[in-house]
Structure 1
Amino acid sequence: MELLENPVRPYAWGSRTVIAELLGRPSPSPHPQAELWLGAHPADPSHVVRDDVTAESLIELIDADPVRALGPDRVDRWSGRLPFLLKVLAADEPLSLQAHPSAEQAAAGFERENAMGLPADAPDRNYRDPNHKPELICALTEFHALVGFREADASVRLLRALDVPALAAYTELLAAQPGPDGLRALFTTWITLPQSVLDDLVPAVQEGAVRLAAAGGEWCMEARTILELSERYPGDAGVLASILLNRTVLQPGEALHLPAGNLHAYLSGAGMEVMANSDNVLRGGLTPKHVDVPELLRVLDFAAAPPPICTGHPDRGWIRYDTPAVEFCLRRFVAEGPQASVVVPDGGPRILACTSGSAIIRSDSGVLKLAPGTSVFLPDADAGVVVDSAAPGTQLFLAGDGLGV
């Protein structure tokens, strides 16, 4: 059982309050704090803290004894690496429009770019490793996101409600083919428009959204989304693409699973995110970073289905959020009284994090106190771990792999 010190990633879209307050640091912070990384990602791993002194990285700890850390039945399965990355994500501004490849697409893309001689850190590289990147986000606050393509018929109604003459031809394109193929055709058309066309079309759509938002009614939230994005990213094709996506709102404790090919953008809010330990992101707009349209189209899933909101399932005192991913499994515990205990499931590497209240964690290797913003790494060798909450409303998150769930 090892106490962790975790790196903060200062992306421009981050919050100046959420992570600072979670860590008990001055708020607002001098710079945006977007993500707190808990794990063994090569770009910024957590470090072990012993006797108030920062020691080796979590990567180094796992490398020193992978059997103890990962488990004898998991060392080969995970190639000696921690298979998941846990994050606290805090967004005050929208993130880029993006999707992630499947395992097969990632392996093929990584091999292809290696053969091209692209450096691993090249800004125009799509595949930085051969792995897929499924994700799960569980809301800590009210959380807003664009997730997956809306049913084409509904998007036609929204386009007509915007009442923008410059959109008429595009609206009829989708109306004539209201399905995945029509969505692909319209999305491809919009994302490849010349900048000179976007500079006229996006402001026209913005004006339509102003009228639609003022009128209220069915599409008010979607109109406000267009306004929010067009103000931050004027002339960006991602503003048009957002018209085709589902606007989803999560309440605390609700979660979304984002499989391969799902086009999405987080808009605002804080959440606990767990993902396969990969860097593979294909962007589609709302960003100054590299956008590879042909590769994005290769991986996108245009099949229209409403994004499922997961409330989790009871699991021996925890709430467990199931996904098809074997690289991770997320559990949440909320103490309903002043004193409550829960057993940490055995098996594989685990990271336990506290987001509110306080708790005492006990194992054969010792006793540690968890306060908000603190976390511990539990190696496979630590079995029979018990957590006792010390305050009502204590909230804990447990990340492990998805084997044997």
Structure 2
Amino acid sequence: MDRLINTVRPYAWGSTTAIPEFLGRPPSGEPQAELWMGAHPGAPSKLGRAGGEQALTGVIAADPEGELGPQTVRAFGPRLPFLLKLLAAASPLSLQVHPDLEQARQGFADEEARGVPVNAPERNYKDANHKPELICALTDFDGLCGFRRATEAADLLAALDVDALKPYVDILRASPESEALREVLTAVLTADPEEIAGTVEKAARASARLAAGAGTDGADASAEARAYAVCASLAHHYPGDPGVIAAMLLNHVTLRPGEALYLGAGVPHAYLSGLGVEIMANSDNVLRSGLTPKHVDVPELLRIVRFEPGEPAVLRPEAGPGGEERYEVPIDEFRLSRFVIAPGAAVGPLEALTPQILLCTGGHVVLRGDASRGEGQLALERGQSAYVPAGERVDVTGEGTLFRATVAV
């Protein structure tokens, strides 16, 4: 096992304080959005082995089966199939969806055949993989996830009393739900930019007024009041953006610490604020519908989105053997779990035929390798992480919270 040396990504929406405070470092004054743990080529973790620091990508490439295990290599090829992150949002991320595996393969092949450079801003598919993901809250975490019921969205829009939105209200109340949501989202995203900007401005003013009148502080705030507060906030960050109206079609959800959301293919979503542990398949395929200055491909987005209304399923960890609490998801690229270790207690051995990344998110823990094989120990404080190759066993003591990311094959 090796301590990981990880890279912080400074995206504009990131918090200037959350990750530095979590890592016990002074703020730099710049946004710090994500701490990446894994072997993504964009920012691979490093580890210390004989000869000095080495990128995890290179370590795996030198001995894929030894590092990942034969099962992982057979299922996903000679690469770590997941990326673990610490995510800190101070302002909204783009409203987006991810393709399923077949859509990703087709989209990537099409753009390759058309000669679209991988780093081109108009490129949709950076790779041929899908990107299911799971976000687990470390603090209260706000987001948008999946479509509201059509009638609920209609009521929200109607209360704004904006003339340009009234045709959308009629569609949402009269048509079958999936068709109505598709028609309204298409109309919003293809509207004349000047006209939709004016509509967004009026909707934002009305939302701010309704939110203030209802009160949005505390747990007693109504779902409608929170929805209007989100609309006003999004318009503040992205004035005139059609994504502000599109967001009102989506469910607003607040995760409490320890709760999680799984986001499968085609589910529209946006993270709004908070600190969390995120894990995803090792992909960079994102299709955006708004709340961003980046490329928006409306026809391709509408091909990918699943217009399936309903309440988002908030996940809570399920107790397993040995004190392991698992977040169950329907894919194999990753599995996330956690251990809450009491003083004097021990967990383990954590042993898997697949690779593991262990992240301490509170207190301190000590990882001990197999003494019979001459392996030592490694102490982790909050924000520190370790990589464990396939087939290695680790025992854990200390007092704190440890997240475990591995492969589910």
2:342 alignment partner in structure 1: 336
Report the residue type matching 1:385 in the other structure. V
Name 1:83's counterpart in structure 2. 81
- Aligned: 1:160 with 2:165: no
For 2:119, give the aligned amino acid. D
Corresponding residue SS for 1:358: strand
Following TM superposition, by how much is the alpha carbon of 1:218 offset from its aligned partner in structure 2, in angstroms? 4.8
- What residue in structure 2 maps to residue 398 of structure 1? 404
The one of 367, 373, 379 equivalent to 2:377 is 367
Residue 75 of structure 1 deviates from its aligned partner by 1.6
Q: Secondary structure at the match of 2:110?
A: helix
Equivalence for 1:16: 16
2:297 corresponding residue in structure 1:
292
Alignment gaps of 5+ in structure 1: none
The residue type paired with residue 261 of structure 1 is G
Moved more, 15-24 or 234-243: 15-24
Report Cα offsets for 1:356-384 as digits up to 9, x if no partner.
Answer: 111110112321111111111110131x3
Task: State the alpha-carbon separation in 2 of the partners of residues 339 and 324 from structure 1.
Answer: 31
Once structures 1 and 2 are overlaid, which stretch shifts more, 161-170 or 63-72? Answer: 161-170
Per-residue deviation, residues 303-336 of structure 1 (Å, max 9, x unmatched): 1121100002111211100111110000011123
| Separation in structure 1 between the aligned mates of residue 354 and residue 320 of structure 2, nearest angstrom | 17
Contact 2:288–2:301 (CA under 8 A) maintained in structure 1 = yes
Question: What is the CA deviation profile of residues 89-123 of structure 1, one whole-angstrom value per residue up to 9, with x for unaligned ones?
Answer: 00001000000000000000000000000111111
Contact 1:153-1:178 within 8 A present in 2 as well: no
Is 2:71–2:353's contact at 8 Å kept on the other side of the alignment?
no
Q: Distance in 2 between matches of 1:12 and 1:137?
A: 20
The CA deviation at 1:154 is 0.9
Q: Select 1:348's aligned residue among 354, 372, 385.
A: 354
Q: What is the number of equivalent residue pairs in this alignment? A: 397
Offset at residue 398 of structure 1 (A):
0.5
Structure 2: runs of 5+ lacking an equivalent: 215-221
1:103 equivalent in structure 2 = 101
Q: 2-side partners of 1:37 and 1:168: how far apart?
A: 44
Whether the 8 Å CA contact 1:354–1:375 is kept in 2: the answer is yes
2:327 equivalent to 1:321: yes
* 1:262 is aligned to 2:267: yes
Residue equivalent to 1:307: 312
Inter-partner Cα distance in structure 1 for 2:224 and 2:140: 20
Written as runs of structure 1 = structure 2, the 5 A alignment for 1:140-159 is 140-159=138-157
Higher mean displacement: 311-320 or 340-349: 340-349
Tell me which stretches of 4 or more aligned residues in structure 1 moved more than 3 Å: 336-340
Please report how far the alpha carbon of residue 73 of structure 1 lies from its aligned counterpart in structure 2 after TM superposition.
2.4
Distance in 1 (alpha carbons) for counterparts of 2:361 and 2:266: 31
Q: State the SS of the aligned residue for 1:287.
A: coil
* Secondary structure at the counterpart of residue 167 of structure 2: helix
CA displacement, residues 111-146 of structure 1 (integer Å, 9 cap, x when unaligned): 000000011111110001100000000000000000
* 2:32 counterpart residue number: 33
What do residues 175-219 of structure 1 show as CA deviations (whole Å, max 9, x unaligned)? 111401100000000011111101211111112212211331551
- The 2-side partners of 1:129 and 1:354 are apart by 31
Counterpart contact for 2:288–2:297, Cα < 8 Å: yes
Find the aligned partners of 2:276 and 2:62 in 1 and give their Cα distance. Answer: 32
Shift of 1:69: 0.6
Give a deviation string over 1:9-61, Cα, whole Å, max 9, x none: 000110111111222211x332100000000001110001249x951100111
Q: Secondary structure at the match of 1:76?
A: helix
Give the Cα separation in 2 of the matches to 1:320 and 1:218. 29
Task: Please say if residues 47 and 54 of structure 1, whose CA atoms lie closer than 8 Å, have aligned partners that are also in contact.
Answer: no
Distance 1:235 1:87 in 2: 31
The whole-number CA distance in structure 1 between the counterparts of 2:74 and 2:34 is 30
* Secondary structure, aligned partner of 2:106: helix
Q: Which has the larger displacement, 2-11 or 16-25?
A: 16-25
Taking the TM superposition and a 5 Å limit, the aligned residue runs for 1:129-140 are 129-140=127-138
Aligned to 1:249: 254
Identity fraction in percent = 49
2:46 aligns with 47
Q: Is the aligned partner of 1:94 residue 2:92? A: yes
In structure 2, C-alpha distance between the alignment counterparts of 1:345 and 1:145, rounded to whole Å: 34
* SS at structure 1 position matched to 2:319: strand
Measured in 1, the distance between the counterparts of 2:269 and 2:111 equals 24
State which of 213, 234, 239 in structure 2 corresponds to 1:234: 239
Does the alignment pair 1:386 with 2:395? yes
What's the secondary structure of 2:83's corresponding residue?
A: strand
Instruction: Give the distance between the partners of 2:197 and 2:335, measured in 1 at CA.
Output: 44
Do the aligned residues in 1 keep the contact of 2:162 with 2:199 (CA within 8 Å)? no
TM-score (norm 1): 0.95
Q: Which residue identity lines up with residue 370 of structure 1 in the other structure?
A: L
